[in-house]
A and B are shown apart, each in its own frame.
Chain A
């Protein structure tokens, strides 16, 4: 790689960074439904698995950032340097798993509860709106960061206020102490009915599937580390202003003490992001929703039965009803508003990330793709997934054909184990010695690979079922 200067690091107290994407993608159904549901089923002690899941994801985030900040390349390019088919595997998984618009349904259904507007109308309108916004934006990253920051900020203060009004000291104490009941697994948790659900919930603690890999693209586009030397992706309307994309990343001089000092500054910055913003916000929203679910179940025992069921919409409306009884009918509406907000965040984040990732791999590794601009490829993937999504919403099952649902769930969790292995290979083989990960970090990522793949295959071998 060509050698360039590493830019100066921002102060580590810089409160906003690309982490907002991970939070927007990561705080979703796992936090608002899956984990509260597990707590009501098995008690707060089951949350130790959540603690492991989110902490593991925070370390994954730091290691993803290592390669992206040191080179300005995405983790996909890193994977291609190690073994090109590995990158194509992720390219294929992204298409298979993320073209289905199922993630829209919960948010749109919550919006229907509030307004009465049919959820398909909301979902289709939302899809078109996302496409228009990203196509008109001059620099897509800026628009998205601003938009998601406001939405996430509103979500965080809103859930905090609602939890403050409906929860109690004992709720939060049991929720937090439950996180340290390491090893607790009630007998029924090891049944064919529930073990796959727990595996799925662990995979959904924080960002799931390929979201962490896409984070490297956001990090690069925000100009973090050597990403400052890579041009930014523009919206379709401004594609003509795009500078030529370099065919490879850059490296800084790791023998120069001044450059290494700047590198340590960047690591401090991203560590602050990972610990306070990512880990803190994800933890906070989950604790808030768990407290709300516990309060709801206390006020209305029917909620417990509803949330234990397999119907997400029923469970969320039951929680909204209980929240209403705690304050006023409007609190229930506000609660559903948050669910709709989570759906919107996930939609914005997923569509942008998917298009960004596929465009990056296509531009760099498909022969002849460089005749197009990155903005054109991005827009092609974006509108492709939007049009496909609209067709499926109108004429097909939103989550994709039921026959392949298990395969998609399997692939999503398998990708997480696979990216842990990829990270170990890329960071330890492609980076210069002075900036390679420490042994303990490698050990945690190695544990992550065993954790995701082990639970996935145990579920498959022992119960013949993939994740729930």
Chain B
């Protein structure tokens, strides 16, 4: 039951992460290209889902940038590293450290975009969850969004 509650909170983040990965390469499967870029979608979706769970369990506050920025500062370079390890595209030609440093810089922008979309999706998703079944964590988070929207 608790697991279901947490997984439901992860859905919007999963969706945004998967969308970002798909932009980079999900379509490559249809184009008959090696699907290496598509591998980015999986870690980005998982970390995106993790963000949603952390939001529901309290350590992260909705709408604040710093937690999302910190999460992606670690998670984005790791996701890219996983992708390059499985299907190299030559991104690590200068070495692993410069590669990771560059990805960490880009992660800041990714975090802004992620949060931007997540904040749009999450309240609507929570409304749907509430209409279908009981999820106290989702209700609590929704109440927070409603309080903020009424200000």
Decide if A and B are genuine partners. yes
Which residue numbers of A lie inside 8 Å of B, CB to CB? 8-11, 13-16, 146, 149-150, 152-165, 167-170, 172, 276-277, 280-281, 284-285, 287-288, 326-331, 333-334
Chain B residues in 8 Å Cβ range of A288: 106, 109
Chain B residues in 8 Å Cβ range of A277: 112
User: Would A9 and B24 be within 8 Å (CB), given that A157-B114, A164-B80 are in contact?
Assistant: no
Most chain B Cβ neighbours within 10 Å, of A149, A161, A277 = A161
User: Would A156 and B27 be within 8 Å (CB), given that A11-B151, A169-B101 are in contact?
Assistant: no
24 contacts between A and B (CB under 8 A): A13-B63, A14-B148, A15-B116, A149-B116, A153-B116, A153-B120, A154-B23, A157-B20, A158-B23, A161-B20, A163-B106, A164-B106, A164-B110, A165-B37, A167-B106, A168-B93, A169-B98, A172-B106, A280-B112, A327-B25, A328-B33, A328-B37, A329-B33, A330-B27
A281 with B112: CB separation less than 8 A = yes
In the bound assembly, the distance between CA atoms of A15 and B65 in angstroms comes to: 8
Identify the closest chain A residue to B79 (Cβ).
A164
Which parts of B89-141 form the interface with A (CB within 8 Å)?
Answer: 89, 91, 93-94, 98-99, 101-103, 105-110, 112-117, 119-120
Chain B residues in 8 Å Cβ range of A172: 102, 105-106
Interface string of B39-82 (1 = CB under 8 A from A): 01000000000000000000001011100000000001000100
Question: What's the nearest-Cβ distance from chain B to residue A228, in Å?
Answer: 11
User: Would A276 and B151 be within 8 Å (CB), given that A329-B33, A334-B27 are in contact?
Assistant: no
Question: What's the nearest-Cβ distance from chain B to residue A121, in Å?
Answer: 24
Tell me if B16 counts as interface (CB < 8 A to partner A).
yes
In the bound assembly, the distance between CA atoms of A15 and B64 in angstroms comes to: 7
In the bound assembly, the distance between CA atoms of A327 and B87 in angstroms comes to: 11
B19 with A15: CB separation less than 8 A = no
Identify the closest chain B residue to A265 (Cβ).
B151
| Interface range on chain B (Cβ under 8 Å from partner) | 35 or more
Which residue numbers of B lie inside 8 Å of A, CB to CB? 16, 19-21, 23-25, 27-28, 30-31, 33-34, 37, 40, 61, 63-65, 76, 80, 89, 91, 93-94, 98-99, 101-103, 105-110, 112-117, 119-120, 148, 151
Chain B residues in 8 Å Cβ range of A326: 89
Chain A interface helix/strand/loop/mixed: helix
User: Would A284 and B109 be within 8 Å (CB), given that A157-B16, A330-B33 are in contact?
Assistant: yes
B115 with A15: CB separation less than 8 A = yes
B40 with A161: CB separation less than 8 A = yes
In the bound assembly, the distance between CA atoms of A10 and B31 in angstroms comes to: 46
In the bound assembly, the distance between CA atoms of A153 and B12 in angstroms comes to: 14
In the bound assembly, the distance between CA atoms of A164 and B98 in angstroms comes to: 12
Which of B16, B91, B119 lies in contact with A16, CB distance below 8 A?
A: B119
B33 with A160: CB separation less than 8 A = no
